[in-house]
């Protein structure tokens, strides 16, 4: 079966698309033409087997005809994703969204960029075939969209961003192109440096521009990471924080939850208005604390305050980072102080902060390290139906001895 269909007279673009899809299962069928038939059936009748997953309308075709063709395909064969290769304008983005186009691709895009777009379109097609929302193909909460995971810490300096970036990369291995990490530390966010990204757009653009009203525009503001995840990075200037209100955060997360299977939020330390707005939308909270008294007491206080405000998400995951038997504290001491079990313990590691400084998360690097097991255990907790399985009390067998 041909999973990908390309229509374009541009031989150079065909070469790049063929290179992008070479390592993917299925094949590419190319129609070298500068026009489109009257309807999708005229194309599909020339294929053998089941309909394709992705139709790419390449450069050299009339854009108006391409949009008309996409509209017909969306009505007759909604399980097929359409990718349009054309130069983006605000008018084209709006028209493409109305026509049911999945993504708009630059005609000058290289193979790596084309591959990311095609993989995302393939996932959308698979989701539609299963009768789910396009980007929530295996979401545990089909009615309300994907899971929103707030990575929290009342105190700074406990490795929250390191945990958040590794969690996003780990989830990206389970759901390629179905994960987005949002840097909600609006003054001093480090997700961009932690993932070695130089974003063209930031969260300021996403919440204050046309993207706030249009999810398709919002997707074009996201940065693509090699680990098959997306990122929305913090403002370049800390002063921009004052322009972003709690209602902006609420609207942003509502948009993203319907486009992605997992939304990972790296929050700012403390319980500011943006963090509280994120918690109102979150399905999960990952609480990160270090193995020191101020961090542990801060977590206890934070849990108590949120319990009183009734802002504790449905699912709680407590991560003890930098666990060290030489710290003078034992795991039972930590649990007794915070009043809840520790779900994941990550031992102190020299490699983990080094990987963050290098901009390559440990789970992306696949380097053997004492912290890897703990990070993978955290990722496992977000697999579909994890709560329905039988689990050992891992927090009682933590690495701190």
pTM assigned to the model: 0.68
Contacts of 385 by beta carbon, 8 Å cutoff, 6+ apart: 140
Kindly state the helix (H) or strand (E) to which residue 26 belongs, with its residue range: none
Task: Give the single-character DSSP code of 345.
Answer: E
Tell me the fold of 147-395: Rossmann fold (3.40.50)
Which CATH number, 1.20.1530.20, 3.90.1150.10, 3.40.50.2300, 3.90.650.10, labels domain 2-131?
A: 3.40.50.2300
> What are 182-239's pLDDT values in tens digits?
999 999 899 999 999 999 899 999 999 888 888 777 887 888 888 888 999 999 898 9
Contacts of 221 by beta carbon, 8 Å cutoff, 6+ apart: 201, 205, 206, 209, 211, 232
Beta strands in 93-247 (DSSP E): 103-105, 147-152, 179-184, 223-225, 229-232
Q: Is 395's pLDDT higher than 50?
A: no
Give dist(CA 254, CA 256) in Å, integer. 6
Residue 62: per-residue pLDDT? 94
Per-position DSSP letters for 253-279, written without gaps between them: HHHHHTT-SEEEEEEPSS--HHHHHHH
Q: Is 327's pLDDT higher than 60?
A: yes
Residue 399: per-residue pLDDT? 37
Task: Output 154 or 180, whichever has higher pLDDT.
Answer: 180
Of the listed ranges 131-140, 254-263, 271-280, 308-317, the one predicted with least confidence: 131-140
Domain extents in the chain? 2-131, 147-395
Q: Is 77's pLDDT higher than 50?
A: yes
Closest CA to 195 of 221, 222, 233: 233
Residue 304: CB atoms within 10 A of its CB come to: 12
- Return the structure tokens found at 286: 């990952």
Task: Give the single-character DSSP code of 234.
Answer: P
Residue 325: per-residue pLDDT? 76
Q: Is 241's pLDDT higher than 50?
A: yes
Give dist(CA 206, CA 218) in Å, integer. 6
Residue 331: per-residue pLDDT? 84
Contacts of 377 by beta carbon, 8 Å cutoff, 6+ apart: 344, 394
The share of the chain scoring above pLDDT 90, in percent, equals 37
Give dist(CA 351, CA 348) in Å, integer. 9
Q: 366-369 — which CB contacts under 8 Å span 24+ positions?
A: none
CA distance from start to end of the chain: 55
Name the pLDDT band for 2 (thresholds 50, 70, 90): low
The share of the chain scoring above pLDDT 70, in percent, equals 90
Contacts of 250 by beta carbon, 8 Å cutoff, 6+ apart: 277, 280, 281
């Amino acid at each position: 079966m041909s999973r990908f269909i390309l229509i374009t007279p541009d031989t150079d673009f065909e070469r790049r698309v063929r290179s992008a899809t070479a390592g993917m299962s299925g094949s590419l069928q190319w129609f070298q033409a500068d026009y489109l038939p009257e309807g999708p059936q005229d194309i599909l009748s020339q294929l053998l087997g089941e309909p394709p997953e992705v139709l790419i309308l390449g450069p050299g075709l009339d854009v108006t005809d391409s949009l008309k063709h996409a509209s017909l395909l969306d009505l007759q064969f909604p399980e097929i994703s359409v990718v349009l290769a054309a130069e983006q304008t605000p008018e084209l983005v709006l028209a493409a969204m109305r026509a049911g186009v999945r993504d708009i691709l630059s005609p000058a895009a290289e193979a790596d960029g084309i591959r990311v777009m095609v993989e995302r379109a393939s996932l959308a097609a698979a989701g539609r075939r299963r009768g789910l929302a396009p980007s929530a193909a295996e979401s545990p909460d089909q009615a309300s969209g994907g899971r929103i995971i707030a990575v929290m810490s009342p105190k700074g300096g406990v490795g929250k961003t390191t945990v958040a970036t590794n969690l996003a990369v780990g989830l990206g291995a389970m759901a390629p192109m179905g994960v987005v990490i949002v840097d909600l530390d609006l003054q001093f966010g480090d997700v961009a440096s932690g993932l070695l990204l130089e974003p063209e757009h930031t969260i300021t653009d996403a919440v204050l521009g046309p993207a706030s009203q249009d999810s398709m525009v919002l997707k074009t503001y996201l940065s693509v990471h090699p680990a098959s995840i997306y990122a929305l990075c913090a403002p370049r200037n800390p002063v921009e924080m004052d322009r972003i209100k709690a209602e902006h955060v609420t609207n942003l997360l509502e948009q993203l939850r319907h486009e992605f299977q997992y939304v990972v939020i790296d929050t700012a330390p403390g319980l500011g208005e943006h963090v509280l707005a994120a918690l109102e939308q979150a399905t999960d909270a990952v609480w990160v604390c270090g193995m020191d008294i101020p961090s542990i007491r801060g977590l206890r206080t934070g849990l108590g305050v949120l319990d009183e405000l009734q802002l504790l998400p449905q699912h709680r995951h407590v991560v003890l980072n930098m666990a060290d038997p030489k710290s003078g504290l034992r795991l039972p001491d930590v649990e007794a102080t915070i009043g809840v079990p520790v779900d994941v313990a990550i031992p102190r590691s020299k490699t983990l902060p080094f990987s963050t400084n290098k901009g390559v998360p440990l789970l992306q690097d696949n380097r053997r390290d004492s912290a890897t097991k703990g990070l993978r255990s955290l990722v496992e907790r977000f697999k579909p139906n994890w709560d329905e399985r039988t689990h050992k009390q891992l927090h009682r067998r933590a690495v701190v001895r």
